[in-house]
């Protein structure tokens, strides 16, 4: 059994109530699931002795602009034991715009979630320190959203006087 089959079989065995959408493109496995189950799935993927996805490589998001569920939060995780990468996706709508934090699973997710919050405005529930990463604390916009103009909003970040 190869790694992909192992991951899918394990997930289906343990979460029979969750509807997984899987895609296998360019030999990369992507698993999509509803956002409210993100913590328990991540917890399982990390702690299962046959999988051991110990490393959370990246957390980011996609802004689909006009789609119904506007955002997709994307996780890239890596199993050192199996030398296998897995991509997880969960849709987030603009009205709620929040997803549970996985910092309880991987501590390294802290800054990655902060960055995603800074750039897309997606709130991570139960995050220990959800502050902006790059932009000033009092900045009101989210630069990587599709409706943010490339040159920014004039006057939104004040410059010192000459």
CA torsion sign, 113 to 147 to 151 to 161? negative
The stretch among 34-42, 49-57, 119-127, 134-142 that binds another protein (CB under 8 A) is 134-142
Q: Is 109 helix (H, G, I), strand (E, B) or coil?
A: helix
Considering the complex, state which of residue 18 and residue 135 has its C-beta at the smaller distance from another protein: 135
Tell me the two tokens of residue 71: 């955002």
Considering the complex, state which of residue 130 and residue 144 has its C-beta at the smaller distance from another protein: 144
Indicate the angle between helix axes 38-47 and 3-14, nearest 10 degrees.
Answer: 130
149 interacts with another protein by CB under 8 A: yes
The stretch among 5-13, 94-102, 104-112, 141-149 that binds another protein (CB under 8 A) is 141-149
Rounded Cα distance between 72 and 50, Å, is 28
Question: CB 140 → another protein: shortest distance, Å?
Answer: 13
136 interacts with another protein by CB under 8 A: yes
CA torsion sign, 134 to 67 to 102 to 42? negative
Among 15, 22, 57, 143, binds another protein (CB under 8 A): 143
Considering the complex, state which of residue 13 and residue 138 has its C-beta at the smaller distance from another protein: 138
Which among 54, 72, 52 has a CA at the least distance from the CA of 7? 52
151 interacts with another protein by CB under 8 A: yes
Q: Is 136 helix (H, G, I), strand (E, B) or coil?
A: coil
Binding site for another protein (CB under 8 A): 134-136, 138, 143, 148-153, 157, 159-162
């Amino acid at each position: 059994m190869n790694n992909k089959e192992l991951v899918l079989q394990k997930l289906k065995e343990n979460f029979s109530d969750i509807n997984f959408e899987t895609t296998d493109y360019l030999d990369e496995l992507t698993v999509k699931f509803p956002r409210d189950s993100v913590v328990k799935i991540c917890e399982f993927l990390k702690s299962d002795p046959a999988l051991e996805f110990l490393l959370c490589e990246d957390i980011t998001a996609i802004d689909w602009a006009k789609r119904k569920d506007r955002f997709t939060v994307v996780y890239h995780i890596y199993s050192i034991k199996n030398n296998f990468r897995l991509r997880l996706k969960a849709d987030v709508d603009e009205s709620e715009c929040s997803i549970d934090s996985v910092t309880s699973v991987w501590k390294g997710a802290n800054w990655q979630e902060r960055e995603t919050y800074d750039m897309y405005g997606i709130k991570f529930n139960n995050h220990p320190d959800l502050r902006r990463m790059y932009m000033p604390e009092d900045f009101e916009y989210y630069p990587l959203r599709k409706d943010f103009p490339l040159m920014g909003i004039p006057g939104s970040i004040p410059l010192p006087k000459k």
